[in-house]
């Protein structure tokens, strides 16, 4: 039955979210990874990390349609050149508000000089973008954080992660990063209960209808 299948699917989604929650919680407790010119191995999203190097203005962009406490704005993503290499990693320095219109976009300053920064590695989900609308590297405004497109178009090597700058680091903006939450697990479980409940009601209605039909049929035969 479709309703029961939807309930099972929601339970499967809840289990997937639980695995993700447990994984991210465990990773956040690990010792920080020292990010170097060597590319980070896969499956490191959610790990704390440290980097030594310098911020670069060229290539910085604003990730559009980011909200904070109901206000529209942007996330500021700035390339960070890793010490002793030509490899960069984009650092999400946090949220800034949209002031006025998009005709005059803000151009946030960057911290100058070599420094050590820390944060959490993040592998963003790829958003949908028409090929003809994909901005070239260096464009100030982007609708999606598409790392594959950035890696392909960048004039240098890029790490396949973004570093979310830690809240206590200087040189950032509003950084209220989302953490692992059990809310989505509970939501899928609640949806599953609803689907199973509707399936039970449907079965009850069908059984009641069939029982009444048979009862009426028997009474009709007796009258004859």
pLDDT tens string for the chain (224 positions)? Answer: 677 777 776 777 666 666 656 565 665 565 667 776 555 555 677 889 999 999 999 999 999 999 999 999 999 999 999 998 889 999 999 999 999 888 889 999 999 999 999 999 988 766 544 444 556 788 899 988 888 888 888 888 888 889 999 999 999 999 998 765 566 666 667 777 777 777 677 777 778 877 777 766 666 555 55
Two tokens, residue 212: 């009444």
The pLDDT, as a whole number, for residue 132 is 46
The pLDDT, as a whole number, for residue 221 is 57
The pLDDT, as a whole number, for residue 198 is 77
Phi and psi of 35, rounded to 5°? Answer: -80, 125
* Cα dihedral sign, 155-159-160-164: negative
Count of C-beta atoms within a 10 Å radius of residue 27: 17
Phi and psi of 116, rounded to 5°? Answer: -110, 125
**Distance, CA of 49 to CA of 119 (rounded, Å):** 6
The pLDDT, as a whole number, for residue 28 is 57
Contact 169, 92 (CB under 8 A): no
Whole-prediction pTM value? Answer: 0.69
**Domain range summary for the chain, segments of one domain joined by +:** 1-27+182-224, 31-181
What's the chain's Rg over C-alpha atoms?
A: 26
Residue 50 DSSP one-character state: E
Residues in the chain: 224
């Amino acid at each position: 039955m479709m309703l029961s299948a939807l309930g099972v699917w929601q339970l499967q989604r809840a289990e997937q979210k639980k695995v993700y929650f447990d994984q991210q919680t465990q990773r956040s407790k690990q010792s920080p990874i020292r990010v170097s010119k060597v590319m980070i191995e896969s499956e490191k999203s959610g790990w704390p990390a440290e980097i030594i190097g310098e911020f670069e203005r060229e290539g910085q962009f604003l990730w559009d349609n980011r909200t904070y406490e109901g206000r529209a704005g942007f996330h500021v993503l700035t390339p960070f050149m890793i010490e002793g290499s030509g490899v960069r990693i984009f650092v999400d320095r946090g949220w800034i508000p949209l002031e006025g219109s998009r005709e005059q976009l803000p151009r946030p300053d960057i911290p100058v000089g070599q420094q050590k920064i820390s944060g959490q590695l993040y592998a963003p989900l790829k958003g949908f973008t028409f090929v003809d609308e994909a901005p070239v590297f260096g464009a100030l405004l982007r609708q999606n954080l598409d790392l594959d497109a950035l890696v392909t178009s960048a004039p240098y090597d890029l790490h396949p992660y973004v570093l979310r700058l830690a809240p206590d680091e200087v040189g950032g903006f509003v950084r209220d990063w989302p953490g692992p939450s059990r809310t989505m697990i509970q939501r899928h479980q609640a949806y599953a209960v609803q689907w199973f409940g509707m399936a039970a009601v449907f079965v009850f209605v069908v059984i009641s209808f069939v029982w009444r039909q048979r009862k009426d049929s028997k009474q009709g035969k007796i009258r004859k």
